Structure formats: C-alpha cells, structure tokens
Structure 1
Amino acid sequence: MGSDGSKSGRKRRELRAKHLKKLTSEEDDSGNLVKDNNNRAPKRIRESESDNDEPLMKKSAASIKVVEADKPKSELAKTSDSYLSKTRFDQFPLSPLSLKAIADAGFKTMTVVQEATLPIILKGKDVLAKAKTGTGKTVAFLLPSIEAVIKSPPVSRGNKQPPIIVLVVCPTRELACQAATEANTLVKYHSSIGIQVVIGGTKLPTEQRRMQKAPCQILVATPGRLIDHIKNSSGFATRLMGVKVLVLDEADQLLAMGFRKDIERIIAAVPKKRQTFLFSATVPKEVRQICDIAMKPDHEFINCVQEGTDETHQKVTQMFMIASLDRHFSLLYGLLKEHIANNVDYKVIIFCTTAMVTKLVAELLGKLSLNVREIHSRKPQSYRTRVSDEFRKSKAIILVTSDVSARGVDYPDVSLVVQMGLPSDRDQYVHRLGRTGRKGKAGEGVLVLAPWEEYFLSSVKDIPITKSPLPPVDHEAVKRVKRGLSQVEMNSKEAAYQAWLGYYKSQKMIAKDTTRLVALANEFSRSMGLDIPPAIPRNVVSKMRLQGVPGIRTK
C-alpha cells in the first residue's frame, strides 16, 4: 500500500469528487462539474463496479409505526419548534457515568429530537428520525450507542481482534470528526471505551496500526474509507461482525453523494441481528429504500419536523441582494465591515460556489486585513480539521468555505452566513443557512446574486427571505478591494475563473446559451481585476463543450 492507499483508491477518490455536484458543489481537476444526464442520484464509481444498481428488497410500509414528535406533550417547551424540551437526561435509564459527562458538558435538558428518540431507541427499536439541522441529532444517537457498549460482555485480553460494537457512518470527513469529538465528550468517564475515526485523506497504514493498538468499541467512518478497511485491513471484517448498533448519519446526504452501493456493502458486512438508526434532515424515497434493507420491518419513523413549518430556523433573518458581478467583492467587504462593527464576537461563514473561488475570496479578504480562514476540498484533511476546530472555538473570525461545511457541521454561535452566487439548489441554500441560528440562537443570512441568477428565488418563495436594497457605493471600499485583488496571485485568479465557468456550465438555466455563459464568465474575470480573461487548457474547453464559443481563450 502507498502512503495514502492504493492507486485504485486515489482513482476512486478522483471519480467520487466528480459526483458531488448537488450537495458539495466542488469542481473536478478540470474546473468543470460532472453531471448525471438522466437526473439521477450520482453513483459513487469504483473501477470494479458495474453501472447497474443491485435490486433493493421491498418491505411493507404498513408495519412501520410513525411517531409524530411535533404533537403537544406536557414535557415540551412552549411549542414543538422550540429547540429544547423540559425533559432531563436523568429521567431515562442512562449510565451514571454518562450522566456525569452530560452534566460536565453543560447539557441540562434534552432537545426535542433527543426527547423523542431516546425512549424508543432504549427499548431496542430501529429508528428513522427526521429532524432539522442543529437540533442535537448526534447526541441523540450517541447516548444509546454508548449504553449498548456498556451492556456488551467484556472482551478477553488475549483477543487480538476485539469486536467493534457501534459503527457510525457519516458522509463527510468533517461530520465524522465532529461526531467522534462529541462521542469522546460523552465517554469522558468511561475509561474503557475507545472511539476511533477512519476517514479519507489520511494514511491507511496509520489507521491500521492505530486500530490494532488502541481500543475501538465505537468506530466513526466515512463510507469509502470503511470499504478500504474491509478489503485491505487484516481482521477488520471479523471485528465488524461484533457490531450491535449501526448508525447512518445524514442518510439523505450519503445517498445523494453516490454512496448507495457502499452503504449496501456496509449493511451486508455487519450482523443482521443489530439495532439500526437513520438520522436525516429529509426523507426522500431513496432513504426509505435504504430503510427497507437496513432496518427491521417494524422500525419507527420519528418526525420532529411539523408539517407546514419552515425548514429554516425561525430566529434567522434572511435577505438577498441583487448586484452586478463587478460589485460583489466590494459589497461583500462592506457587509463584513458593517457586521463586524456591530458584533464584537462576530463569527461569519461565507459560502462560495467552488473550491477555487473559495480560495480566491479567502486570499482577497486576507489582503484586506480581515481575520479569515478557508476550508475546501483542495486542502489536505489535516489542515481542514485544524481550521475547523479553530473556527469552532474562536470568536471574531471569518470562515470562507465551499459546501464541505454546508451540512451537519456544528459551529456554535455563527452570527452571519453569506452565500456568494447561485446555490446548487433550494436544499443547499437551506443547509448552508442552517450553520447559523443553531441551538435556538439568533442569526442572519445574506444571499448575494447577480441579476441573471435571480431566477433562483422562485425556488425559495415559501421561505421568509426579503430583498435588501443595495447600499450606496463606498468608493473607499472599492479602492481597497481593487488594491487587494491586485495583490492576489494570478494563478488563483486563473483557477477561480476556470472553476467558475465549470460550475455555471452545470447550471441548466445559464448553460443553455454558451455564448452568454462565456460572456458572464469574462464579466467575472473583469470583477477580479483582469482586462483579459485567462486562457483555459484545450482539453478542459473540450470537456465543457465550449470549443469555438466567442470569448473563450485556450492554451
């Protein structure tokens, strides 16, 4: 094995990156996004896979009991939309050591999601839980998982392949690391319980050695790396035969990112006699299909989202601005200056369309002397983890990110979310916005669009987002931004231009007129301070099918 897995592993990761359009909006090495022409969920392609999905078994939905958590209960706070219930953790049969760790963490009462799911899970039932983001879903599945470990018989010291009791599968590295961090908080006083993480972007041999040396009753993993260990780590498949609890976190995202085949393999690799939890922000038919093969026929569906209520948090003020591309950078700078002046402990997340545009914006804001960090798919995992932890713990800080941070990642006290440019779809807008207004706190969201992106607003017309008038042009801010852009490296601008063109080539409403698309890309180029748009490699132009389009430059 190489330092980061086999060549096939690298190839697989490259192919996977091309299939993240809907939820991650990351570009491939060419800067253009790869689409599924049949509008189906993308497949996570491996060299050994065929293109055909295996048939799914169907089970009767009539046997599934539905628990509506949004119905009035005496223990709940004023309404079902409240983040917290009045139910205490010590009202349930949890380990005293777990309760002590919960108290140390500052948890006094359960969230609505925890209050709705925990009693059913503790009865041994399989559970599919639908809940809004930022409502305590991770603790909801970790607490009963820890109980399962505690109740398992002790393993003899001579056992060289001790069983993994709990397997948690997360769609992204960031979510996996976050879940493991929360798990370590909850097992603070359970000294014998070991928690480990296996994720892509780290060295497989290092993980293999750690899995051999350190205890691991709870394993948190991303699907691809988990499959790598099943195939290549000695004794790993045997250890999985001890799994008593399987958790699929953000199940809808796992499927939308093309992990269906991997999930089916993982389900097949663990014992049938187990308890299974699926937690998801949405429950489309694809999630229901996975329920059919992953869960018992009598599993319970717990809906913590009241029908007809807004998906976005009630305390988040949302507005949008329509401005020409040449104003976007100075407008962003002005928004940040105003927010910083009014919020001493500001914490801002700026979402950009692609990794390379993220890099460009982060460089620009750094030149403007703002306290900025960046996270995107082109950064190594160790860097992303370090920056994510720093942002989580800090105040007076700005994070510029691609959609790797859009969903599930818990950054406390985010005061402002800015979305620059067209979100990939309505759900992505909602999930990005969900980084603020978490745990019942107030927040603000701003969407900045160009006039030709205004059509997106029709997809969020049921969401309380209002138009904000553009502020007067701040000529001093414009000068500072222009000066900052002149200091940004040329290769960053070239990469951002190519990535921008690739992203909008994947947007049907814009890409149908390729001449106009290239003209808009060149407008973006001018907004970066370039008189002449960068040249793009001929093979990339060919991939984008833009050969001979007026305004495109090749090299």
Structure 2
Amino acid sequence: MFLQKRRQEQGKQLPFWELANQLAAEARKLLKYHRSLGVQVVIGGTRLPQEQRSMQANPCQILVATPGRLKDHLENTPGFSTRIRGVKVLVLDEADRLLDMGFRRDIEKIITFIPKDRQTLLFSATVSEEIHQISHLAMRKDYDFINAVQEGDEETHAQVNQTYMVAPLGLHLPILYDVLKKHVAEDAEYKVIVFCTTAMVTRLVAEVLSQLKLNIREIHSRKTQSARTKVSDEFRKSKGLILVSSDVSARGVDYPDVTLVMQVGLPADREQYIHRLGRTGRKGKEGQGILLLAPWEMHFLSTVNDLSISEAATPSVDSSIQAAVKDAVRRVEMKSKESAYQAWLGYYNSHKATNRDKARLVMLAEEFSQSIGLAVPPAIPKQILRKMGLSNVPGLRSS
C-alpha cells in the first residue's frame, strides 16, 4: 500500500491527487508484464461509490491513497477493513508533510487496521522529533535509517539561475507579460510555470494572460479534479505552454523540461520558494527562476540570500505593453477580480510580515485592487471578515 497526503492551501483543500496518480502510473508500468496484479487509486475529490465499484471489479494488490479517503473506505466500504488486514507492505511517503498538515491521528488509526507482521517504508525530507515518534509507532524497533543525501551533494536549486525583481503592484502584470513574451520569443520549446499566491489570484492572472493571447493553462484547487488531471497531463507531455498555478504544483510534481519558473508575490516561506523553484533545473538540466516582489515584500530576500539569488534589472515596460495589459484586465469578469481581491487580502492577512498592522494591510489591499482594475475595493461578506479577524477594520467594506 502506498500512503500519500492531502494539504491545505490557505484554508482550502489542496489535494495531492497528482502525486498519487503519478505513483499509480509508475506502478502500472512496473506491472506491465504482471497482468494478475492491479493498482487502484483512492483520493479525495472523487465519488466514493465509484471507487468502491472499481475496487470490487478490478484486482488491487497495490493501493495508492490519501489519508482522508483511506479512512473513508475503512469506515464506510463494506469488507474493506477486512481486506486491508492482508496488507504486506506499508509505505508512508513524505511523512514530514503528512505530520505538518495534521494527519498524525489518521496515520495512527490506519495503522491499527493493518497487521503488525508487515514491511514498512517511511520517506521524509526532514527528520524531526515527530518523525522519530511516528517511526517508533509504524516501524519495528530494529528499523534501518538510510540518509540518501550525502554531504556535498548539489541541490536542484543550485542548477537554477535565480533572480528577483522589485516593482510596485501596479506593474506586476505588465512585467509578468513582458517577461513571458520575451521568453516565448527566445525559446520555441518554452515550458513555463507561473506561481501565484492563491487559487483565485491564479485564476485572475490566467484569465488576463489568456486575454493577451499567450498559450495558457491554469491549475488550482478550485478546478475539478478531472480538469486538474487533464491540464497536468497536457503540460507534462507538451511544450510551448505556460501553466499558471497555485501551490498545487509546487511540491513533488514531475514536469520535465520546464524552462522558467516565475513566482509572483510573497511565497509562504523559504521552503515553498525552493519547492516551487525545483520544478525547473531537474535531472541535471539548467533552469531559470524569477521572483517578482513589491517593495514592501523585500524582507523575504533575507530568508533566501544563501541561495545565490541576485537582483535583475526591472524591465522598463513600454506604454504599449501597459495599455495591452490594462485592456486585458478590463475584459476580465468583475467576479474574478472581486474573488482575487478577497483571496489576496486573506493571504496577506495570514502572513506574519503583513498582518500585524491592519491599517497598512488595508492600504496594501487597496493598492492591489487598483492593480487589477478596481478603482474601489469590493465589499466582503461580514462572515468572511469575521473569519479573517478583520471585522470593523477601517477601510474595509462589508456586505
């Protein structure tokens, strides 16, 4: 059994369906000449009855699962808990992230359903005290620890040419368009990922760039799972595409031959910056990474100053580019802009660097609203403001 995870994206579900599907695809390749052995995937976002029928109708010797959905089957699928008692191998993949996202209790419960006489493999990028604790729970006392990262090994980001640009929010979309346009012109086999702060900001940026006639695909947690799978598969196999993404594509996803990763806005933390960057410069190939920040986001650079990141000259975007972007923004639906504003406010309100001074946060949010063509920041439902802890904050309109 392979056990994979789900994550949260700024309070919204961020399924790791992509990693689970990749694991299952690789397992099926290995079983090409072993037709009697079957692989099944059970992940959140799909219909439980459909998975139940599939497991009943097809052989299942290897099961790839997210914790929540595996628990669903253990509790709601007749006979499943009995069948799982026959498990011979348990794999806990990316165990550190499973624990970070609060799945310890789920793991503990799942382990109670499977036999003690089994082989267990646990993989983790970091080895914290909690990892040691879950290792003692899931594995035998005499387990072997193998460090796969030897001293002196070059990390992926060392092969990526990293630069950053600093510009006011009002210039972020024009600069993004200018950089992408030049990159497309210089490399016929371009393959670009643009990372945005939230799902709704991702949708807005994708719509603007599509209006500008770039070859855009978008992927984020608000898309249906079938849509995300389709886009992910297309981007993996194709060239000449720009994928505008939330952090659903930031970690562990293997997209070959990505030529540029561009991050727009403040990354959640240093780790997230590195994971995003790691989508390019893979398997010994060179890559390029650009981080675009507002002047008040420059504090983030102190967390990555050991990664050979250097400042790039901010493009002097000419008036024709600015006019084209302004027209593209004007043609985007008002609902998309309002949703992006609300999501942007929620994201930066959750960031330690910007959530302490609410008056300043409101001022920055107004700057963002103007950058996406909203002269007046839209009203936000009172319930949402309460959840954000922003009720009765001067400058914010409620509905």
Measured against the shorter chain, the TM-score band is over 0.9
* Counterpart residue number, 2:60: 216
Q: Aligned to 1:264, what secondary structure does the other structure show? A: helix
**Structure 2 unmatched runs, 5+:** none
Q: Aligned to 1:407, what secondary structure does the other structure show? A: coil
Residues 477-513 of structure 1, C-alpha deviations (whole Å, 9 max, x = no match): 1111111000111000000000000000001121100
Aligned-residue RMSD, C-alpha: 1.8
Deviates more, 1:370-379 or 1:495-504: 370-379
The reply to whether residue 467 of structure 1 matches residue 308 of structure 2 is no
* Counterpart residue number, 1:73: none
The one of 124, 133, 156 equivalent to 1:280 is 124
The 1:285/1:312 distance shift into structure 2, 3 A limit, reads farther
Residues 522-550 of structure 1, C-alpha deviations (whole Å, 9 max, x = no match): 10000001111111111212222223323
The one of 445, 448, 451 equivalent to 2:295 is 451
Residues 41-68 of structure 1, C-alpha deviations (whole Å, 9 max, x = no match): xxxxxxxxxxxxxxxxxxxxxxxxxxxx
Q: Is the 8 A contact 1:354 1:402 kept in 2?
A: yes
TM-score w.r.t. the length of structure 2 is 0.95
Instruction: Give percent identity, aligned residues only.
Output: 62
* Counterpart residue number, 2:133: 289
Deviation at 1:337, TM superposition (A): 0.9
Whole-angstrom CA distance in 1 between matches of 2:237 and 2:301: 34
Whole-angstrom CA distance in 2 between matches of 1:397 and 1:508: 34
Q: Aligned to 2:223, what secondary structure does the other structure show? A: coil
- 1:513-524 to structure 2, matched below 5 A, reads 513-524=357-368
The one of 361, 367, 370 equivalent to 1:526 is 370
Letter in 2 for 1:275: Q
* Counterpart residue number, 1:490: 334
* Counterpart residue number, 1:42: none
The one of 12, 18, 26 equivalent to 2:10 is 26
The reply to whether residue 246 of structure 1 matches residue 85 of structure 2 is no
The one of 199, 211, 214 equivalent to 1:367 is 211
Letter in 2 for 1:261: R
The one of 47, 71, 89 equivalent to 1:203 is 47
Residues 83-127 of structure 1, C-alpha deviations (whole Å, 9 max, x = no match): xxxxxxxxxxxxxxxxxxxxxxxxxxxxxxxxxxxxxxxxxxxxx
* Counterpart residue number, 2:248: 404
Whole-angstrom CA distance in 1 between matches of 2:15 and 2:390: 33
The reply to whether residue 438 of structure 1 matches residue 282 of structure 2 is yes
The one of 190, 194, 198 equivalent to 1:354 is 198
Residues 357-378 of structure 1, C-alpha deviations (whole Å, 9 max, x = no match): 1111111111111111111111
Count how many residue pairs are aligned between Structure 1 and Structure 2: 395
* Counterpart residue number, 2:30: 186
The reply to whether residue 343 of structure 1 matches residue 184 of structure 2 is no
Q: Is the 8 A contact 1:27 1:354 kept in 2?
A: no
Q: Is the 8 A contact 1:26 1:355 kept in 2?
A: no
**Structure 1 unmatched runs, 5+:** 1-15, 30-169
Q: Aligned to 2:158, what secondary structure does the other structure show? A: coil
Letter in 1 for 2:352: K
Whole-angstrom CA distance in 1 between matches of 2:374 and 2:29: 50
The 1:358/1:290 distance shift into structure 2, 3 A limit, reads same
The 1:515/1:310 distance shift into structure 2, 3 A limit, reads farther
Letter in 2 for 1:337: K
Deviation at 1:460, TM superposition (A): 1.2
* Counterpart residue number, 1:50: none
- 1:232-243 to structure 2, matched below 5 A, reads 232-243=76-87
Q: Is the 8 A contact 2:15 2:248 kept in 1?
A: no
Whose RCO is larger (CA < 8 A, sep 6+)? 1
Whole-angstrom CA distance in 2 between matches of 1:462 and 1:297: 38
TM-score w.r.t. the length of structure 1 is 0.69
Whole-angstrom CA distance in 2 between matches of 1:323 and 1:367: 23
